[in-house]
Amino acid sequence: MPANILNLPAYKVLRVEETEHDYHIRAEVAQRPSHCTNCGSDRLLRYGRNEQLVRDLSIHGKRVGIYVDTQRWRCQACGKTFMEPLPAINTKREMTDRLVVWIGQQSLRRTFASIAEDIGLDEKTVRNIFRDYVNELEKTVRFETPTWMGIDEIHIIKPRCVISNIRSNTIVNLLPNRDKKTVINYLGNLDGRHDVQTVAMDMWVPYRDAVQAVMPDARIVIDKFHVVRMANDAVERVRKSLRESLTPKQRRGLMHDRFVLLKRERDLNDKERLLLSGWTANYPELGEAYRLKEAFYGVYEGMGTPDQALARYAAWQRSVIPEVHDAFADLIRAFTNWQPQILAYFDHPVTNAYTESLNSLIRVMNRLGRGYSFEALRAKILFTEGVHNKVKLKFRRREVMADDMAGRMAMFTTFQHDAPEAEKNYGVDISTLARLIEEGRL
């Protein structure tokens, strides 16, 4: 009798055939049914056979097909017939349970096509197993609701809403879009939403409206990163407005040197300072725009109270000359329309700017994955093993009364839990995720 190469005790291996790429394994159920599945009677008669092909995990790098010799039975008591059950087999997929689990786990790290080729399946089958696996993860994996929440956008095929835990530097969810209805639906069904204290976001009205509708007590803070970026955008507008007055050679030079205009003055090296002085000396409007950009950073660098920040901003706004006012109009308008939320930063200096760094990494992952759907990329980001920031339980001191050797009551301290608590999962650690994407392991 061949050894049980399958390592499935519920089956008896009858014969093993090995080819260049595959193992064909003939097997039967080791334990025959003793009672009717309909009425429970033990009066059973054999009533024909059927061979079923079941896929299994690869062995020695070769694909595995199990040909199970399945017995049909007839009950003499009720007259019903039934096929003997196949233990450890997913009848919906015609493969072993362990293969279904393996495909689900692997599909978070590998392409569907590579898994299908390894196992000898259709890629659509792998995709369907992946979808079922993710649906189960959605039910079982729970991330802690952040007290400091970030709401931002990330580009995966198109703009999506990303929810982050600012304190833990983690991602807790990715929403299919950034519409108000979608965000309200998510926040409205969030456990512990009333414990959210601060929400950092960009200046996207649907985010603000959603938070105010569902979590009115949470303090909305406009992320500093999104505000100061508008000052850089203003410099870019001035630079582009100069192109028509330049020669082709000058245009190429200004395009090449644009990084100098976007860089902070304190970070320029000697060569870059020389380039900057040349452009600003020849084009005063560009120099004025650069000065205003640097001065706007000063609104934040001074910190202090919201009133002090507002005074610095007012002084900055008065210094904007008419020649470049149009370039800075969006920034001035945004500060006016979002003033309470922008100034809230000076009481609550929270930022989720780190999520911006993921955009380029996600694009790389999408390209390497040959065009994953959003659902696939979302699952890979949220559920891949090893990327979660988890906190294990710690023992707490608890005082317990007990009799000492003399029969007197004595107090002693032991380490144990007052009440069991579940492990806390704070979401996907962004630095770990970025590292895995850069290393090509996701």
Q: What is the pLDDT of residue 252?
A: 76
Is 243's pLDDT higher than 80? no
Tell me the two tokens of residue 397.
């001191």
Domain-embedded: residue 196:
no
Residues 321 and 397 in one domain: no
Res 211 pLDDT > 60:
yes
Q: Is the pLDDT of residue 203 over 80?
A: yes
Residues 80 and 94 in one domain: no
- Read off the pLDDT band of 355 (50, 70, 90): low
Residue 191 lies in a domain: no
Give helix 329-337 / helix 224-241 axis angle, nearest 10°. Answer: 160
**Is 323 contained in some domain?**
yes
Residue that is last in its domain, among 346, 364, 388: 346
pLDDT of residue 54: 93
Which region among 79-93, 118-132, 197-211, 255-269 has the lowest average model confidence (pLDDT)?
Answer: 255-269
Average pLDDT (422-428) is: 85
Report pLDDT for 409.
41
Q: Is residue 246 pLDDT above 90, yes or no? A: no
Same domain, yes or no, for 63 and 106? no
One domain, residues 230 and 339: yes
233: how many CB neighbours lie within 10 A of its CB?
15
Q: Name the band, by pLDDT with cuts 50, 70 and 90, for residue 222.
A: very high
Mean pLDDT of the chain: 85
pLDDT of residue 394: 57
Given this model, what pLDDT does residue 309 score? 95
Backbone φ, ψ for residue 415 (5° rounding): -100, 115
Q: State whether 73 and 98 are in the same domain.
A: no
Assigned domain for 186 exists: no
Give the torsion through C-alpha atoms of 326, 328, 330, 335, to 10 deg.
-140
The last residue of a domain, from among 52, 87, 122: 87
User: 310 and 271 in one domain?
Assistant: yes
Is the pLDDT confidence value at 122 over 50? yes
203 C-beta neighbours (distance < 10 Å), count: 17
In contact, 429 and 170? CB cutoff 8 Å: yes
What's residue 420's pLDDT? Answer: 47
| Residue-level pLDDT at 85 | 87
Residues 99 and 74 in one domain: no
- Binned at pLDDT 50, 70 and 90, residue 407 comes out as very low
Report the distance separating Cα 406 and Cα 410, nearest Å: 10
**pLDDT value of residue 404:** 46
pLDDT of residue 408 exceeding 70: no
| 188, pLDDT greater than 90 | yes
Please tell me whether residues 96 and 83 are part of one structural domain: no
Give me the residue label for tokens 């599945």: 37
Cα 185 off chain centre by: 19
CA 61, CA 104: separation in Å to the nearest integer?
A: 19
pLDDT computed for residue 112 by the predictor: 86
Q: Which of 321, 346, 371 is the last residue of a domain?
A: 346
pTM beyond 0.85: the answer is no
Residue 115 forms part of a structural domain = yes
Both 5 and 76 in one domain: the answer is yes
pLDDT exceeds cutoff 70 at 399: no
**Whether residue 70 is found in the same domain as residue 127:** no
Q: Is residue 372 domain-resident?
A: no
pLDDT in tens, 68-117: 988 888 998 998 988 888 999 998 889 999 999 999 988 887 888 889 98
Work out the pLDDT band at 16, boundaries 50, 70, 90.
very high
According to DSSP, the β-strands at 409-416 and 396-403 are: antiparallel
374 in a domain, yes or no? Answer: no
Looking at the predicted structure, is the pLDDT value of residue 2 above 70? Answer: no
Query: Are 129 and 29 within one domain?
Result: no
pLDDT at 248 over 70: yes
pLDDT given at position 422: 59
Instruction: Indicate whether 257 and 273 sit together in one domain.
Output: yes
154 part of a folded domain: no
Structural domain boundaries, residue 434? 379-438
Q: How many domains does the chain have?
A: 4
Which CB contacts under 8 angstroms, 24+ apart, belong to 49-53?
50/83, 52/86, 52/94, 53/94
For residue 427, pLDDT over 50 is answered with yes
pLDDT digits (tens, 9 = 90+) for 22-72: 999 999 998 888 889 889 898 888 888 888 899 999 998 899 999 998 888
